[in-house]
Amino acid sequence: MLGLYYLIAFALSMNPAYTQKAIWLGAGLVGLAALPLFWRHIRLRHIPQEGFLLALFTLWASAGIFFVSDLEMFMRFLQRMMELTATVIFTSLILKNSGAAKWLYLAFLGLAVLSIFYSSEPVSMERIARTKVPLARIEAANAVGFQCFMGILGMLGLLAETKRLWIRLFLLGGGVLALYGVVLSGSRGAFAALIATAILWPLLCLLGGYRFKLKALICAVVMLLLAYWGFQFIIQATSMGDRFTKATRMEDSSTKTRFDLVLTGFRIMTENPILGCGLGQFGIASGTGYYAHNEVAEIVATTGLPGFFLYYSVYVIAWRRLSRSLKSINSSLFRYRINMARLSLLILLISGALSRPNFIGQDTFFLIGIVVGIAHWAESVARLARRSAGAILAPKPCQILLGGCRRSALASGTQAKIQL
């Protein structure tokens, strides 16, 4: 139900007129459907610690209502943070009992494919190979680019959930279309996240997820080589590669402006390190009219250092849960799920630091919820594994009694021999 809601809500929101209506109406229907289940089985103690931290983060940021200049923008950002908190709690409560995020991953992939075919122009290589003419990017290019990247992430998350060849081929086909969407969008942030995934997925999910290390190593090397050749093709033959190359060399005004915005964010933080300038007030405080295009700078400038530590403690706690759980879990599928969650967490940090504030990005709310939910599921599975191992290793009471009888008999026999 949650995966279906994500797919329908964000597919309808491709039309700006339906964006908020689709999201809120869908959320209300899903909430009503799940309310009886939550009312019977969920208690306050079941809410993950990360959910309480996000609630505290939202509460801390709400103090800005007393001093902000643009109250409308402040309320818009505050609403997004409340949505983030509710989505993470709701998603994590569902996933912490199963650990299977396959329907959400499938929704990520489905939305990526829909976003490509939603455009009026046909799918073609000529459309992305316009390196000699000004780039005619698709509408809402950065949002579509990251949605297509999340489709690739969903495809990777589903690969280990099935062993049927035709399903895997179907997933790979969807992943190729999503890759086309990332390149077509011209979004450098989505492309940077894609490069990070191409490096981290073989290292975490192949080498770190399977017991047959030699086979995993060979597969990882092959995947890295394929990713490198694909990267070279995109850089040399597409307009996306042209934009990305200029960005890495600081040759375009957009990259320079974003770098200056990051520096401005830290300057604003030094002026008010406790409360910041207030949610949504970065454009006013910086005098630019822009948001920071960087999650770290945006949060630290608008909510101060306490808000920064509250928000990023969610990532730290989730990472520790996931990493500790790996030590006690041997199942290849379970290890793959955990490492996919770790990969998603790292991608959230990288994309946030390079291009987008994920704490107000509605499409990434669910990804954060997946990370938190799987972290709690992995912790409970690891706890059960440790208890099972302890029960096997611990001697049973009858074994202890028989062992004591044998030792007493041996001691009595030895003493009788000495007396003789």
Q: How far is CA 132 from CA 128, 235, 236, in A?
A: 11, 13, 12
Tokens of 240: 């996306």
Q: What is the pLDDT of residues 225-259, one digit of tens each?
A: 988 898 888 888 887 888 888 888 877 777 888 88
SS3 of residue 279 by DSSP: coil
For 287, phi then psi, to 5°, come to 75, 15
The confidence score (pLDDT) of residue 303 equals 94
Non-local CB neighbours of 317 within 8 Å, separated by 6+ positions: 49, 50, 53, 375
Radius of gyration of the chain (CA): 26
The confidence score (pLDDT) of residue 11 equals 64
Q: What is the pLDDT of residues 169-187, one digit of tens each?
A: 999 999 998 998 888 888 8
Q: At what angle do helices 239-248 and 188-201 cross, to 10 degrees?
A: 90
Listed residue (72, 77, 30) closest to 299, CA to CA: 77
The confidence score (pLDDT) of residue 22 equals 58
Q: How far is CA 372 from CA 243, 342, 376, in A?
A: 34, 10, 6
Listed residue (240, 229, 134, 126) closest to 183, CA to CA: 240
Q: Which residue has the tokens 């990804």?
A: 367
pTM of the model: 0.85
The confidence score (pLDDT) of residue 289 equals 82
Task: Give CA–CA dist 50/372, Å, rounded.
Answer: 7
The confidence score (pLDDT) of residue 409 equals 43
Task: Give CA–CA dist 285/292, Å, rounded.
Answer: 11
Task: Give CA–CA dist 24/33, Å, rounded.
Answer: 14
Q: Which portions of the chain are predicted below pLDDT 50?
A: 120, 122-124, 131-137, 398, 400-402, 405-420
